[in-house]
Each structure stands twice: as C-alpha cells, then as structure tokens.
Amino acid sequence: MLQIQKLNVKAAILDMDGVLWRLTTPLVDLPGLFNAFSKNNIQVMFATNNGTATVDQYVKKLAGFGISVESWQVLTSAMATGYSLKKTFPNGGPIYIMGEKALHDTLKDFGFYHDTQAPQAVAAGLTRELDYNMLKDTSLMIQKGLPFYFTNPDPTYPTPEGNIPGAGTVLAALEAASGVKAKLAGKPLPFLFELGMQRMNTTPEETLVVGDRLDTDILGGQKSGCKTAMVLTGISTREEAEQWQPQPDLVIPDIMGLFEEV
C-alpha cells in the first residue's frame, strides 16, 4: 500500500514553493509526480501564499515543468485578498495597493484599482522593490483609518540559495510603522483550502493538504479539517514537526514520498 492510499483521500491541495520547486529548480520529477496522482485518481489543486505571480503565470510555470493544469486549479493569496476585499466592498473600487504587478493585476480582476486620492482600503503584499518611501506612504495611508489587508504572513521564502525574506517581513514593517494589525487573507486561514475543496467537490476528510510550512500550510490544513502531509524540502524541519500539536498525518522527505510503499 502507498502512503497516500493509507490516508484514504480523493484529492490533494499542494503548496508550490518548497514543495514542487525552489524558484526555478524542481525538487522532484514533476511529470512523474503528476502521473502518479493521475494513476491513483487523486484530484489536484494548488494553493500558494506567494502572490507575486498571477494564476496565469503559475499555469505557465507548471507547463514549463511539463505539468498541464487549468487556471481554476490554482489559488493564490492575492486571490484570497480579492475575495476578502469583496466581502466589504462588493462593487470593487479605489484602494491603495502596495505590491508587485501580480497583486495589482489580480485585484483588478476583482474590480479594484490603485488610487492615492480617495482609496477605500489598503492592500499590500510582498514587494521585492521595496524602499523606505513605499513603507512610509503606505503606513501613513493605514494610519488614516483605512481597512488594512495583507496577502500572507510567511516571514521567509525558500530559494536554492537558502531562505530569503518573505512577505511577513514587509507585514511586520507596516504593522510596526502604522500600529495597526492587518487583516490576513492567505494561509493559515482556511479560505483557500475551503475554496479548493469547493472547486473539487470534496470533503475535508477526503482532502490532503501538502506543504513545507507548519505555521501556514499544515496549520491551515488542520484548521480546515483536512489531512496533512509535511515535506522536508522547504522551511520546517522534522524536529519542528515532532513538536507540533497536533502533528501532521505524514512527514516525508519530499512529495514523492506520498507514493512510497508502507
């Protein structure tokens, strides 16, 4: 029996950075991995806290690794931010956006556009061209009392060089400068997982969440009632997983471990 068969699931929601790849370096034989999912009749979706690429860009990146997916299978923290904003501002409209082009483009799909004169809210995320004036202007905007939304809390981001500063470092700076706690949108909040299950028409008991971070992927999966598998190719370590309560259902060296015999 395979590890994934032992878990008795029909679907998997996968993180990408630190699970499938580090930047442009694949961590396993990706075409082989997705052949294994298909062979075992496991539906697959992707849920990433990295909002610096659009859904279409992720579809193209996956295609570049030999994996063909539809856009509905990819969920991002930028999308989650759009859905969160829509709850308060159903008609869209002007907001102050501090983030990369992908965040602007994604929020535009939800009817929101960047405005400095009369914004209804502030939305921010990882900004790799960050400078002091961006932090200053955004924190001043937040201090005006506008609702403050942020894509995700991940403090680091896995690359072939090592773990580099992630969105959480920008979040910490804005919260410190403004004195305001942000409304988070991505993992570990359950929203992306719930949306994924809705799109696949599966229950939490039938769904496996696979990730490399205990504090976002695994925590979010557990909050959603899903089964969880942590891989050791990203941020969190086996020792940290052993201390985590409740522990992940599975801790594996890499995602191909799902298809190992037990």
**Known binding residues for Mg(2+):** 15, 17, 212
Tell me the two tokens of residue 203.
Answer: 């229950």
User: Residue 252 in contact with residue 229, Cβ under 8 Å?
Assistant: yes
Tell me the two tokens of residue 189.
Answer: 């909040």
Our answer to whether residue 15 is catalytic in this structure is: yes
The sign of the dihedral angle between the CA atoms of 141, 143, 146, 150 is: positive
Question: How far separated are the first and last CA of the chain, in Å rounded?
Answer: 6
Residue 110, SS3 per DSSP: coil
Residue 22, SS3 per DSSP: strand
Q: What is the Cα–Cα distance from 169 to 222, expressed in whole angstroms?
A: 25
Residue 258, SS3 per DSSP: helix
Give the type of residue at 73: Q
Which parts are annotated binding residues?
15, 17, 187, 212
Which parts are annotated binding residues for substrate?
187
Catalogue the active-site residues: 15, 17
